[in-house]
């Protein structure tokens, strides 16, 4: 909702909301905005320009919030319940954020569908920045996120279950890691996302059997004989 005065540029009645996952310190995190002068939070979102494809709009919105281009992202659901967005909340929000009283015929007061995207990014590379309506854009542990406006909690829940579902099926987890990583890093990621403990030997055997990892030099920290190998994801084609 960063350009609310430029509605003429955008497709009517439809928004994009992005659940942006990062991984750091054994925690799965998502990026949240805090609206100015409120304690209300939301996942980052935006609108679709007349001349943009859907995925281009999502990439632009993600770039605006993270500074990153070529982000791994996927549609996961369209949120379209007729009561998904309360106009009373919207009015109170806009009043708090910039003192504006939305008139009943303002385009934002119409019904909106929202296309949910989830994105997986390398936490260490992102530079989160708030939009025009928010004070902060920060990482929150998935287990301790604040209450979100509208149906954004449902969005996060559904994005997380999609991420879990596809972690094995599509090997998408590597998007959450730096380019090189140890087998421990990888197992740690899987355990965190799936919220379960995995057997080290089984996990390692399975990952190596997939033929998707290139083994590099050892990671040079601590005693050389205990140094773990570094790996790089080489794709699954």
Least separation, in Å, of the C-beta of 17 and a second copy?
13
Q: Which is nearer to a second copy, 10 or 231 (CB)?
A: 10
Note whether 132 binds a second copy by CB under 8 A.
no
How many chain residues are in contact with a second copy, going by CB under 8 A? 22
* Distance between CA atoms of residues 60 and 177, nearest Å: 22
Least separation, in Å, of the C-beta of 157 and a second copy?
16
Indicate left, alpha or beta for 171 from its phi (over 0: left) and psi (-120 to 50: alpha).
left
User: Hey, which residues does 23 pair with through a beta bridge?
Assistant: 28
Within 10 A of 226 (CB to CB), how many other CB atoms are there? Answer: 8
Q: Do the Cβ atoms of 21 and 29 come closer than 8 Å?
A: yes
Footprint on residues 28-57 left by a second copy (CB under 8 A): 48, 50-55
C-alpha closest to that of 233 among 73, 29, 72: 72
Footprint on residues 167-186 left by a second copy (CB under 8 A): 169
What separation in angstroms does the CA of 137 have from each of 34, 39, 146, 220? 7, 13, 13, 35
Least separation, in Å, of the C-beta of 116 and a second copy?
10
Least separation, in Å, of the C-beta of 169 and a second copy?
8
Which of 5, 8, 82, 104 is close enough to bind a second copy by CB under 8 A?
Answer: 82
At 70, list the tokens.
Answer: 């070529």
Least separation, in Å, of the C-beta of 99 and a second copy?
29
Residue 84 CA from chain centroid, whole number: 20
Note whether 11 binds a second copy by CB under 8 A.
yes
> Beta strand pairing status for 10-24 and 113-120?
parallel
Stretch that binds a second copy, among 10-18, 20-28, 123-131, 208-216 (CB under 8 A): 10-18
Contact residues toward a second copy (CB under 8 A) are: 11-14, 48, 50-55, 75, 77-78, 80-82, 111, 113, 115, 165, 169
């Amino acid at each position: 909702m960063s350009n609310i005065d430029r509605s003429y540029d955008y497709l009517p009645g439809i928004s994009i909301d992005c659940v942006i996952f990062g991984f750091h310190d054994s925690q799965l995190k998502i990026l949240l905005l805090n609206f100015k002068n409120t304690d209300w939070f939301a996942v980052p979102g935006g609108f679709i320009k007349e001349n943009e494809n859907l995925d281009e709009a999502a990439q632009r919105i993600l770039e605006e919030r993270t500074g990153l281009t070529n982000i791994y992202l996927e549609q996961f659901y369209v949120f379209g319940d007729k009561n998904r967005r309360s106009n009373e909340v919207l009015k109170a929000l806009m009043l708090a954020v910039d003192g504006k009283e939305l008139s009943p015929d303002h385009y934002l007061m119409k019904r909106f569908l929202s296309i949910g995207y989830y994105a997986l990014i390398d936490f260490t590379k992102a530079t989160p920045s708030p939009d025009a309506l928010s004070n902060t854009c920060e990482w929150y542990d998935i287990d301790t996120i604040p209450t979100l406006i509208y149906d954004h909690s449902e969005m996060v829940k559904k994005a997380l279950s999609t991420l879990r579902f596809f972690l094995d099926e599509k090997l998408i987890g590597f998007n959450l890691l730096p380019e090189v990583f140890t087998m421990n890093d990888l197992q740690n990621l899987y355990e965190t996302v799936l919220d379960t403990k995995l057997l080290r030997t089984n996990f390692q055997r399975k990952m190596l059997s997939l033929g998707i990892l290139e083994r590099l030099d050892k990671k040079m920290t601590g005693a050389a004989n205990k140094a773990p190998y570094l790996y790089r994801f080489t794709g699954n084609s």
